Amino acid sequence: MTGDLYIRPLHMSSEKDISPGAAPLLASGEYYSAAEVTLRSSAGDITRREIVASGEILSWVQNNSPLHQDKALAILKNLSTKRSNFAGLNMSQPQIMAVINVTPDSFSDGGDRYDRARAVDDALRMRELGASILDVGGESTRPGAEPVSEEEELRRVLPVIEKLAEAGALVSIDTRHARVMREAVAAGAGIINDVTALEGDKDSLETAAFAKVPVILMHMQGTPQTMQANPCYQDVTLDVFDYLEKRVAACVAAGIPREMIAVDPGIGFGKTTEHNLRLLDAQALLHGTGCPLLLGVSRKGFIGKLSRGEEPKERVAGSLACALAGLVRGVQMYRVHDVAETAQAFAIARAIS
């Protein structure tokens, strides 16, 4: 690891006049008046962290770490630049990705859509309710889940993808296996969504580059079988940023254009409750990668831990709270189980602001 610089926008507002000198965020009509600027050593230790007014970031870097000026300029450009459309979707407004688990054992809806016909019907209904992406998965990646064979995964997902694509839906394939990616795209999937950020299968990166469809890279520490055993980080927000930045660079080097890459911090995948909360608060840091952000937090276990121990399907309100936290931090895409509720919450929040 080399020493590095990080800039996390703070104090976001749609009213620039509230803070003269506020900087634009993603050319979205939002501004940030300050940022948390962090320096850390090649060993990963934080050497300096301060809250700096947005108009003074470059001078702060010049005074404290002049070797990082080019990095600061690159991050500030990423923070201010409007995101290109992703898979044809406008990244200037929140996009909802509906969870379509064609599995018997997913943590929240396992078995609900194991029947193909019901999976297709439910997915198309979710599209009517506001989902712009239908995320089809045939292997559970919940904590402790056992892997399934590629043949079984394909048996589950391909008929559903084909029907949804025939109906004109934008489908993403939620898989960590190159063969499943390849056959799903051939069946009509328009996005690859991989919890291993295209490194869980030795052929995934080449397969995704050849497929020429947008990809979503998620951070996960360990595997579904091991990730919750004892997750540890030097600084979870910076470590996740570093990992995703490196995976984006690997994809670009493999021939995947940056505008076809989105990133996901992987809430609940190798993280404690405290890690999850810190990542949710610091999501704006990831805008520095220059890629759209996906937030997948719907019904996850830490919501129950912070509340009254509710079962997954009773965590809708907590899921909406997390989604709205993402909205005010500029997150562009949201992977959810409860499409109608999320769409309603976004409509009201955006009308208010």
Burial class (CB in 10 A: 0-12, 13-18, 19+), 219: buried
Which residues make Cβ contacts (< 8 Å) with residue 88, sequence separation at least 6? 170
Say if residues 190 and 172 touch (Cβ distance below 8 Å): yes
Identify the active-site residue in 127, 182, 271, 335. 335
Identify the active-site residue in 8, 142, 300, 329. 300
Instruction: Tell me whether residue 163 is one of the annotated catalytic residues.
Output: no
Nearest to 298 by CA among 281, 279, 322: 322
Instruction: Tell me whether residue 156 is one of the annotated catalytic residues.
Output: no
Helices 339-352/316-327 angle, 10° precision: 40
- For the chain, how long is the longest CA-to-CA vector? 62
Say if residues 186 and 212 touch (Cβ distance below 8 Å): no
> Residue 309 gets which letter from DSSP?
-
Span between the terminal Cα atoms of the chain, in Å = 41
Residue 15: C-alpha distances to residues 1, 24, 28, 177, 307 (Å): 39, 10, 12, 45, 34
Catalytic residues: 300, 335
